[in-house]
Structure 1
Amino acid sequence: MPELPEVEGVVRDLKPAVEGKSITGIVLSETILASTAAGKQCIIKNIEPHLFEQVMTGMAIEKIERRSKYIFFTIVRDGEAFILVNHLGMTGAWFIVDSLEGITEEKFRKHAHAIFTLNTGELLVYSDIRRFGELRFIKNLSDHPPLLKMAPEPFDEDACKFFLAQCDKPKYANKAIKEVIMDGQVISGCGNIYATEALFKESIHPARKVSRISKVRKQALFATIQAVLQESIDSGGSTISDYRSINGGAGEMQHRLKMYGKKVCPVCETNTKSMTIAGRTSVYCPNCQR
């Protein structure tokens, strides 16, 4: 699943290519329409697909920004602003092409689920192979309450203070540190990849309870999470499995990872172990991480 650095990369690529343009038409996939007819919401959330097509047509894309792992499109019509919220899920990707044939990877071309025609004649395409992503049309963030519960951005001035305060709460104190730092209400945007890397760099076992980690070590861990996220942003994110930036672009961070997906510890050459924490596979070094 794309984490903060990957989503940041998508936003940085989308902004110059899309901001200031308007939507003149939309086509949604038969998969979305069939799912809705069967009583299921697929990608298009909280609004009927045909109504989504109607309300989005004529909108100007004023601004694109990232918040945690979400992409926010500020869209405007007749002076009234709305928000199109996008979560990439496991395999979501954006493309800006002249035609669908411009999407070079067949698996993304085959799973193009929302095709926005822009006033320039270009197509802004949202593809999603596994269809776990979402496009949510809202007026205010309060229309989708989970968005209001996100932790501060990890680079915000008060983010570490917020993290430490959350760790002191009873509901987090006895949880595994790996689970807690992947919780978007504790730290925004840190998922399995970068939690694994930060814990390895700080020699902390992923299952260690939060209450058994000193404040000094928590502060150091938070600083390392910031550093790992920034390194990944600078490297274009980690292209693992089906993550792509716009138009199929790939990142380089996967070549810098020290523990995620590794079989042998790069420090002590001990075979790594894995365990499941919060439903995710956590790889760690049984020798280096305590």
Structure 2
Amino acid sequence: MPELPEVEGVVRSLAPIATGRTICKVTVSDTVIKSKQLGKEAIVKGITTEDFSVDLVGMTIANVTRRSKYIYFHLIKDGNTCLLVSHLGMSGAWFTVKSIDDITEMKFRKHIHVILSMDDGGLLVYSDIRRFGELRLIGCEADHPPLLKMAPEPFAEEACRHFLDMAAMPKYARKAIKDVIMDGHVLSGCGNIYATEALFKMNMHPARTAEQVSLARKKELFQVIVDVLQESIDAGGSSISDYRNIDGQAGTMQDRLKMYGRKVCSACGANTESLKIAGRTSVYCPACQK
């Protein structure tokens, strides 16, 4: 699943290209339409595909920003503003192209679900192989309350204090520390990849409970997470599986990972082990991480 660095990379590439362009046509895939007809919510959430398509026409993209793992398209039409909120799920990707043929990887071209045709003739295309992503058209963040419950951005001044306060709450204190740092209410944008890397850098076992980690170590862990996230942003994110930037390019952070996906510890050479935490496979070194 794309985490904060991958989403940040998409936004940084997308914003200068998409800003100022106006949507003149919206095409939704038959797969999404049929899903809606069956009472399911594939990709287009909280609105019918018909209303989604009609409402977006004529809207101008005023800006594109990131909030945690979400992409916010700030839209304006006739003086009224709204948000198109995009979550990439496990395999979502945006492409800015002149033609569908410009999407070179067939696995993405075969799973196109929304096409925004722009007034200049270009296309803004959303592809999602596994269809776990979402597009939600709302007036503002308050129209979808879960967005308001996200933790502060990890680079924000108040983020560390928020993390420490939340981790000390009974709700989180007895949970595995890895579960806690992957919880978006506690810390924004850190998923399995970067949680694995941060805990390895800290020589900390992922199943250790939050209350077993001292305040000083929690502060250090928070800073390590921030550093790992920033390193990945600088490297263009991790292209572990289906992550691509808007031009189809892969990131390079996967070449720098020290523990995620490894069979052998990069520090001591011991065989790594894994366990399930919060439904995710957690790889760790039994020798280095205690």
TM-score normalised by the shorter chain: which range applies? over 0.9
Q: Which runs of 4+ in 1 moved over 2 A?
A: none
Query: How big is each residue's C-alpha offset from its partner over 1:1-60, in whole Å with a ceiling of 9 and x where there is no partner?
Result: 000000000000101110011101111101011111111111100000011100000000
Aligned to 1:139: 139
The 3-state SS of whatever aligns with 1:86 is strand
- Counterparts of 1:156-195 in structure 2, within 5 Å, are 156-195=156-195
- Could you tell me which runs of 5 or more consecutive residues in structure 1 were left unpaired when the two chains were aligned: none
Residue identity opposite 2:177 in structure 1: I
Residue identity opposite 2:277 in structure 1: I
Query: How big is each residue's C-alpha offset from its partner over 1:271-290, in whole Å with a ceiling of 9 and x where there is no partner?
Result: 00000000000000001100
Is 1:283 equivalent to 2:280 in the alignment?
no
Compute the displacement of 1:175 (Å). Answer: 0.4
- Counterparts of 1:250-265 in structure 2, within 5 Å, are 250-265=250-265
Query: How big is each residue's C-alpha offset from its partner over 1:178-237, in whole Å with a ceiling of 9 and x where there is no partner?
Result: 000000000000000000000000010000011011001000000000000000000000
Aligned to 1:229: 229
The 3-state SS of whatever aligns with 1:196 is helix
Query: How big is each residue's C-alpha offset from its partner over 1:122-155, in whole Å with a ceiling of 9 and x where there is no partner?
Result: 0100000100000000012111111010000000
Give, in whole Å, the separation in 2 of the partners of 1:212 and 1:107: 44
The 3-state SS of whatever aligns with 1:246 is coil
Residue identity opposite 2:33 in structure 1: L
Compute the displacement of 1:266 (Å). Answer: 1.1
Is 1:75 equivalent to 2:75 in the alignment?
yes
Residue identity opposite 2:26 in structure 1: I
The 3-state SS of whatever aligns with 2:127 is strand
Bigger drift between 229-238 and 35-44 goes to 35-44
TM-score of the superposition, structure 2-length normalised? Answer: 0.99
Give, in whole Å, the separation in 2 of the partners of 1:105 and 1:251: 16
Aligned to 2:246: 246
Aligned to 1:213: 213
Is 1:102 equivalent to 2:102 in the alignment?
yes
Give, in whole Å, the separation in 2 of the partners of 1:33 and 1:157: 43
Give, in whole Å, the separation in 1 of the partners of 2:89 and 2:208: 28
Is 1:9 equivalent to 2:12 in the alignment?
no
Aligned to 2:60: 60
Give, in whole Å, the separation in 2 of the partners of 1:256 and 1:12: 21
Residue identity opposite 2:42 in structure 1: C
Is 1:202 equivalent to 2:210 in the alignment?
no
Would you say how many aligned residue pairs link Structure 1 and Structure 2? 290
The 3-state SS of whatever aligns with 1:11 is helix
Residue identity opposite 2:60 in structure 1: A
The 3-state SS of whatever aligns with 2:65 is strand
Compute the displacement of 1:247 (Å). Answer: 2.4
- Could you tell me which runs of 5 or more consecutive residues in structure 2 were left unpaired when the two chains were aligned: none
Bigger drift between 137-146 and 196-205 goes to 137-146
The 3-state SS of whatever aligns with 1:247 is coil
Residue identity opposite 2:10 in structure 1: V
Aligned to 2:128: 128
The 3-state SS of whatever aligns with 1:217 is helix
Residue identity opposite 1:257 in structure 2: L
Give, in whole Å, the separation in 2 of the partners of 1:272 and 1:188: 27
Give, in whole Å, the separation in 1 of the partners of 2:239 and 2:140: 32
Query: How big is each residue's C-alpha offset from its partner over 1:138-175, in whole Å with a ceiling of 9 and x where there is no partner?
Result: 01211111101000000000111110000110001100
- Counterparts of 1:39-54 in structure 2, within 5 Å, are 39-54=39-54
Give, in whole Å, the separation in 1 of the partners of 2:210 and 2:63: 38
